[in-house]
Structure 1
Amino acid sequence: MSTDSLMRATASLYGLALGDALGSQFFVPANRTHLTAHTPPPGPWQWTDDTEMACSVYRVLADHGSVDQDALAAGFAAHHDFDRGYGPATGRMLRLVREGGDWRALAGGLFDGKGSWGNGAAMRVAPLGAWFAGDLDEAVRQAELSATVTHAHPEAIAGAVAVAVATAAATQPDLSPGRFLDHVLDHTPLSMVRDGIAEARALLTIGDPLLAGRTLGNGRNVSAHDTVPFTLWAAARHLDAFEAAFWATASAGGDVDTTCAIVGGILGARVGLDRLPATWSREAEPLPEWAGAPRHPSRS
């Protein structure tokens, strides 16, 4: 394990958890005026399944240096908290794994043997992209391994690959929005996800997140191809501005906790732990101790 890999992955995990926790607050009707005003609602903010699963990805990388699929499946199952908002298919699968089921058969058997094309593999993968930031091809391979533990459909795998590569690419200095998305397009397999990212590339001159969300999808259908292209558009438009990226993402509505988790994980890796908004970080629920992540400096 390199210190740089761990530091990047840690910053990404905290950025993901912050986006997830704050984004989840806007499912509460009373908080929607805060969204319109771009002001955070009162804390504390609880994170969801996005962060819980990302913590398992992070822990497996810290323990093994790469994706051990059996360890990752065991981690997902052991730490599965039904109340964190898991989708029904994933929740049932993890319960069966906990009871001794084979994750390979269970993941591959979902949805009449096609596998899930949901956004769950993409929502948790950013710390992995940060870990393998120095090798985009390896980030692709490891993202595929991480995705197939629960999401065997090619679209879900493509979504995970795209977010992992985006996170890895985001750590590069002097990165233009167009070049950022070009890196992702160069490494994402042919898919509806990739088609959406190409459309996001063409929409970079448009600054309206509502229009971008309507065009690209905002996660409302919780599929990878309805989620990932818009999040990469939002990250590309605000590569060095975490707060602006968050508000642009959240204002498009849809699956707000997940879209904000993805964008937060990408930009957390880019800006680093010390440049995440400290006042926001203090309101977010702390990461679980079992994840093994260093304590956030805002809580020191």
Structure 2
Amino acid sequence: MKEIILGSIMGTAVGDSLGLLYEGLSSKRQRKLYKNINSQKFFMGKGFISDDTEHTLMVAHALYHSSGDEEIFSRYLARSLRKWIISMPLGIGFASLRACIKLLVGFPPEKSGVFSAGNGPAMRSALIGIICGNDIQKMKSLVRISTRITHTDPKAEIGALTVAYAAFIAGTKKEVAPSSFYEGLKSLLIGYESLEFLKIVEEVVDSVYNNESTREYVERLGLKNGVSGYIYHTVPVVIHAWLSYKGNFRKSIIEMIECGGDTDTTAAILGGILGASATVAGIPEELQENIYLFPYSKKYIENISHALAYKNKRTSEIQVKEPFWGLSLIRNLIFIPVIAFHVIRRMLPPY
């Protein structure tokens, strides 16, 4: 279990750090500006993590402290989000921003969410599936809490639950038949307003069986500027890439990024699912080492993975504390010029 958890978290961080440089770019503009997506190159040849990895680690921390207790999980996740928002995170989604401000001014977690179907909840749900997938009701409850703390549109919950379920399946089966996944998801979503979403996933399954690439699938959807932040765009495309996985982690993440759009989030979600399957041993080591994780560290990720895997065993008395939020604030302030450089670079030739 530890290797599955560690693989999912590191897969998220790798996808996030690879995709961040290309966020918001269409696949055509990517090819104009950057010749090679083979490694991280956001700053001095390394990659940054963004909110995708940070939210995954917040959920890991909440799961560690709560041991599945829903009230404690909600409390710890809300506490982490409050600290995160005052660290001035860069590139935060509007729905998450409004929800976190509501938390900061005193709204309880069950009332802080805003009506949105953005992809924020999907980027932090993989671990819930891996940890709680054998207890379907517990998985549903924790996904609901994690989702509604920021996003209240039922579509957001359906998308997040799909990612959690995919990560659970990826961690338990080396090969997943697309039709089998669809039938399992269909059963899982009984009681949800999911007819529209299941129709989309059914089309994804057909596309995979027809050997259509993920990029071809995205182009057929008419997403000329890339995959948007709408959860009914993000999650189906990620599921397509996962079900098309041929065992090459780097290649799959790069193909996801080449679809364009919200590339850090799509690559991070895909990385979280693939990492559960490949485990950390299946993720290229140089991609793991080539990330600025500060204020986190690889040791922190290893410790939280160990603690989650062995939470109920005496052998696991590892105490894991979240980094001081002020360190994230310092990091974000220092790298504002780097962000500004990349924004300006995008405005320049070649066109």
Q: With structure 2 as the length reference, what TM-score do the two structures score?
A: 0.73
TM-score by length of 1: 0.85
Q: Identity percentage over the alignment?
A: 24
Equivalents in 2 of 1:34, 1:264: separation in Å?
24
In structure 1, the gaps of 5 or more residues are none
Paired residue for 1:40? 39
Q: Is the Cα–Cα contact under 8 Å of residues 196 and 229 in structure 1 kept in the other structure?
A: yes
Which of 196, 202, 209 is the matching residue for 2:206? Answer: 202
Distance in 2 (CA, whole Å) between partners of 1:166 and 1:217 is: 25
Contact (CA 8 Å) 1:118, 1:223: kept in 2 or not? Answer: yes
Q: Equivalent residue for 2:186? A: 185
d(CA) in 2 for partners of 1:237 and 1:89? Answer: 31
Match of 1:82 among 81, 88, 98: 88
Greater relative CO, 1 or 2 (CA 8 Å, sep 6+): 2
1:223 to 210, 223, 230: 230
Q: Matched residue of 2:233: which SS?
A: coil
Alpha-carbon offset, residue 213 of structure 1: 1.3
Q: Quick one: distance in 2 between partners of 1:184 and 1:232? A: 12
Return 195-204 or 281-290, whichever deviates more: 281-290
Superposition CA RMSD, Å: 2.7
- Do the aligned partners of 2:112 and 2:149 also contact (CA within 8 Å) in 1? no
Deviates more, 1:21-30 or 1:200-209: 21-30
Displacement after TM superposition at 1:98 (Å): 2.0
Q: CA deviation at 1:121?
A: 0.3
Aligned length: 286
- Counterpart for residue 307 of structure 2: none
Cα distance per residue 1:54-106 (max 9 Å; x no partner): 11101111111225212211211212343331112311321331232333323
Structure ID, larger Rg: 2
CA distance in 2, matches of 1:278, 1:184: 33
Once the two structures are TM-superposed, the CA of residue 28 in structure 1 deviates from its matched residue by 8.8
1:264 to 271, 275, 286: 271
**Residue 103 to residue 37, structure 1, CA distance change in 2 (3 Å):** same
What are the superposed Cα offsets for residues 133-173 of structure 1, whole Å, 9 maximum, x if unpaired? 43445323322222111111100000000000000011123
Using the alignment, how far apart are the partners of 2:97 and 2:33 within structure 1? 31
- Pick closer, same or farther for the CA change 1:239–1:56 going to 2, 3 Å: farther
Distance 2:182 2:34 in 1: 27
SS in 2 for 1:84: coil
Name the CA distance, whole Å, in 2 between partners of 1:85 and 1:235.
Answer: 26
Letter in 1 for 2:134: G
